[in-house]
Chain A
């Protein structure tokens, strides 16, 4: 699937801003993932062409960072932290509950294609609101089974935050993400 014109334009614009076009690799990968939901080798090849860099370099970089997806996932991305500070406040129980409610295992996508969830050991920066998860990179903190239920219910029907338009996720109607307390 060839990249959409706005994506190509965005990559070029970003590349022009940096003192070195190589710096635009990560922004370019973001732009591609934003458009297509994940990053194929084919897209990496396209990025290489646009930036005039060897394609091996794009794959080397893309595969290093955990947030670039190699294959399509559900419309919504739910990540629940189980590192120690979250574990102390019951993250394991919440993760188990989430998996049970979604009916699929860690790392899998619900049968309706709405949600891919996984637990992570990578701290997401909300230990003060633990247990927590990120839904499409927005914070959901102080989780309880009831809150998880209502989030799942919302996601089942909500469209994906990304799409062919590279505009911000905010273009999609969504309740404002809860912020950290204090």
Chain B
């Protein structure tokens, strides 16, 4: 936790001297010198409560043991964490916790990654001396359609209820009853509505709160864990993709303080079944009205020739494709097929520009005024933003949620003496956001920055890399060689369409008018991860990789370039980038990419601001312009 004081305090913990900033907890000071003090209730994102009493340590001159999670360091303090008294007491508190905790570890989803299990092993008593009936509570309570609650396993650490109060602010979970009868629950046992429930399962130090989707799926030691990025939206939350037997088991958070602050939303977390590969489909070509299975080589040759022969072409690539795919896709269209009709969007939206991301996510906390233009629409588009906004509010930031039409209201509400103003809006409301920004810049003393929530996990990348009819990579103008955007295609004499979508969450969903047009189109190439209704109108189907099955990079709404990694091996499916390269080469190009990394390297050469990829940092366009 950041502290404003620069004063340093020196203390001794288990004989080692350590110097930490004033305002540091004993627990954190110990951590700084690799002394591990066991905890259950303490959580770095939440105010200390000191309820579990697991972290009690000896502090010289204090008569009682002190909770390391709640006592701040002082100059000259002498702390002892491994004395006989402490050890005896740790055994005592674990024995207490186990009195009413069932011994069902073998069938508990938390088994193997359970702090209670681990600490019992390390610090606990060998056997329990408790010889009475345990207090019985409900097991398997459906807290919502996402979470199941086992009230017997709960050790009342208050983490989930504090999350509900301090992190999401929804105050949906509460402690009910008192004493040994205390339980956690929602009001009147109504299903929990929060979009952040999955986080409860991660902060729960026992198996009381577990995800229904992960019930009995795997043991942690059987999981293959891959660091990646959530495919849910453009927030760019970091995830751990946990797979078992080459099947996705779950998405877990992987803290990135600048982005997600350690949290995920349920929309993203529980989206993984969409990426589960159900069938082993093959490339297909429609002949005499029927789709026939062919080889990759056949489909590539056929597609290349058909595209070449089609005349007016259009290409749509989903905002969930990787930067490397996007880069090659636009090269294929612009350089090889000489078609300027490129798009990744669903509708015509305001022009995209680097100024759309001058406000980094983490800087929301450092604004004094934040206008959420469009209110809940913005949160729905990137749910984890709510947690950042709520955190900011608790720190004193004034967060104003207004309708997209309420520019005037927002303008009036922001005081002239504001030092730092942030504006958040979705792509659909960009125009209003720009208008508000302009007016506020005239009104207020401080800076006014905006952050436009892009659509799709790589909508920003698609814009940066010029998957637009009127902009090339790096937002360069096409000097009168602009093509047509998606909504114009049906009326522009387009004869062939190549749709590439790797995410069922951000697919090509045709409007009614488009459906009619598509069914009459001479050539529809559909390059996708799994069967979809669009297969019906496709002449060519090329199976591709899911978001979770490939390596590459994606760019979040704030311009942060982050790596996604292959968590599931679908080796029999040809990599999407390789398909693009082979189509290009079939048509006379001489691309020689051997790996994704090679494409990334080329991409950075073509677009120097993208060197940010090496640090997982934000692309800083202003420096290069």
A and B from one complex: yes
List of B residues within 8 angstroms of A64 by Cβ: 177-178
- Which chain A residues border B188 with CB–CB below 8 Å? 41, 44-45, 55, 59
Is the Cβ of B187 less than 8 Å from the Cβ of A45?
A: yes
* B173 at interface by CB-CB < 8 Å: yes
Give complex CA distance A56, B161 in Å: 11
Chain B residues whose C-beta falls within 8 Å of the C-beta of A59 in the assembled complex: 174, 176, 187-188
CB of B171 within 8 Å of the partner chain: yes
With a cutoff of 8 Å between Cβ atoms, the chain A residues found around residue B173 in the complex are 56
Our pick among B171, B178, B187 for the contact of A44 (Cβ within 8 Å) is B187
A56–B185 CA distance with the chains assembled, in angstroms: 8
- Interface flag for A171 (CB, 8 Å): no
- Scoring B172, B176, B177 by chain A CB atoms within 10 A of each residue's CB, the highest score goes to B176
Count chain A residues whose beta carbon lies closer than 8 angstroms to a beta carbon of B: 13
Convert A55-68 into 0s and 1s, putting 1 for each residue whose CB lies closer than 8 angstroms to a CB of B: 11111100110000
Within 8 A of B (CB), among A120-141: none
Is residue B186 contacting chain A, with contact meaning CB distance below 8 A?
yes
Q: Which of B171, B178, B187 has the most CB of A within 10 A?
A: B187
Q: Which of A51-102 contact B (CB under 8 A)?
A: 54-60, 63-64
Q: How far is the CB of B192 from chain A (nearest CB, A)?
A: 10
On whether the beta carbons of A54 and B178 are closer than 8 Å, the reply is: no
Q: How far is the CB of B193 from chain A (nearest CB, A)?
A: 11
When C-beta atoms are compared, the residue in chain B nearest to A53 turns out to be B171
Contact, CB under 8 Å: B187 / A63: no
Pairwise interchain contact B178-A56, C-beta atoms closer than 8 A: no
Most buried by B among A44, A55, A56: A56
Assembly CA distance A58 to B175 (angstroms): 11
User: Given the complex, which residues of B lie within 8 Å of A56, measured CB to CB?
Assistant: 171-174, 186-187
Q: Are A63 and B178 in contact (CB under 8 A)?
A: yes
Interchain CB contact under 8 A, A54 and B172? yes
B171 touching A57 by the CB < 8 A rule?
yes
User: With a CB–CB cut-off of 8 A, which chain B residues contact A60?
Assistant: 174-176
A117 to chain B, nearest CB (A): 22
CA distance A41 to B187 in the complex (A): 8
| 1/0 contact string of B156-198 vs chain A (CB within 8 Å) | 0000000000000011111111100000001110000000000
Determine the chain A residues whose CB is within 8 A of the CB of B172 once the complex forms: 54, 56
Cβ distance B384 to chain A, nearest Cβ, rounded Å: 21
Chain B: minimal CB distance from A70 (Å): 10
- CB contacts (< 8 Å) of B187 on chain A: these are 41, 44-45, 48, 54-56, 58-59
Size of the B side of the interface (Cβ < 8 Å), in residues, is 12
Contact B177 A63 (CB under 8 A): yes
Residue of B at shortest CB range from A61? B174
Nearest opposing residue in chain A for B181, CB measure: A63
Docked complex Cα distance between A41 and B188 (Å): 6
* Shortest distance from the beta carbon of A79 to any chain B beta carbon, whole Å: 18
* Minimum C-beta distance from A62 to chain B (A): 9
Shortest A6–chain B CB gap in Å is 25
Task: List the B residue with the shortest CB-CB distance to A48.
Answer: B187
Q: In the complex, which residue of chain B has the Cβ closest to the Cβ of A55? A: B187
CB nearest neighbor in B for A54: B171
Closest residue of A by beta carbon distance from B177: A63
* Complex: A59 Cα to B183 Cα, angstroms: 12
A48 to B174, CA, bound (A): 14
B170, B174, B178 interface centre (most CB from chain A within 10 Å): B174
Query: Which residue among A44, A60, A63, A64 has the maximum number of chain B CB atoms within 10 Å of its CB?
Result: A60
Chain A residues closer than 8 Å to B186, beta-carbon distance: 56
Instruction: Tell me the bound Cα distance from A58 to B170 in angstroms.
Output: 14
Per the bound structure, the CA–CA distance linking A55 and B178 in Å amounts to: 18
Encode B3-20 as 1/0 by CB contact (under 8 A) with A: 000000000000000000
Q: Roughly how many angstroms separate A153 CA and B440 CA in the complex, as a whole number?
A: 77
Cβ–Cβ contact B178 & A57, under 8 A: no
Q: How far is the CA of A92 from the CA of B597 in the complex (A)?
A: 82
Nearest-CB distance from A149 to chain B (Å)?
A: 35
- Residues in B whose Cβ lies below 8 Å from that of A57: 171, 174
B7 to chain A, nearest CB (A): 35
- Cα–Cα, bound, A44→B174 (Å): 14
A48 to B172, CA, bound (A): 13
Docked CA distance A44–B190 (Å): 13
Shortest CB distance B64–A (Å): 26
- Give the residue of A45, A54, A63 whose beta carbon is less than 8 angstroms from that of B176: A63
Whole-angstrom distance from the CB of A164 to the nearest CB of chain B? Answer: 24
With a CB–CB cut-off of 8 A, which chain B residues contact A55?
Answer: 187-188
Shortest CB-to-CB span from B462 to chain A, Å, is 40
User: Whole-angstrom distance from the CB of B56 to the nearest CB of chain A?
Assistant: 26
Which residues in B have their C-beta under 8 angstroms from that of A44? 187-188
Nearest-CB distance from A102 to chain B (Å)? 26
The chain B residue sitting closest to A58, CB to CB, is: B187
Which residues of chain B come closer than 8 Å to A54, judged between CB atoms?
170-172, 187
Nearest to A59 among chain B residues (CB) is B187
Chain B min CB distance to A44 (Å) = 7
Kindly report which residue of chain B lies nearest to residue A42, judged by CB atoms. B188
A50 to chain B, nearest CB (A): 15
Chain A nearest CB, measured from B183 CB (Å): 9
- Residues in chain A within 8 A of chain B (CB atoms): 41, 44-45, 48, 54-60, 63-64
Known: A54-B187, A63-B176. 4 other contacts (CB 8 A): A44-B188, A56-B186, A57-B174, A64-B177
* 27 pairs, A vs B, C-beta closer than 8 Å: A41-B187, A41-B188, A44-B187, A44-B188, A48-B187, A54-B170, A54-B172, A54-B187, A55-B187, A55-B188, A56-B171, A56-B173, A56-B174, A56-B186, A56-B187, A57-B171, A57-B174, A59-B176, A59-B187, A59-B188, A60-B174, A60-B175, A60-B176, A63-B176, A63-B177, A63-B178, A64-B178
Q: Interface residues, chain B, CB within 8 Å of chain A?
A: 170-178, 186-188
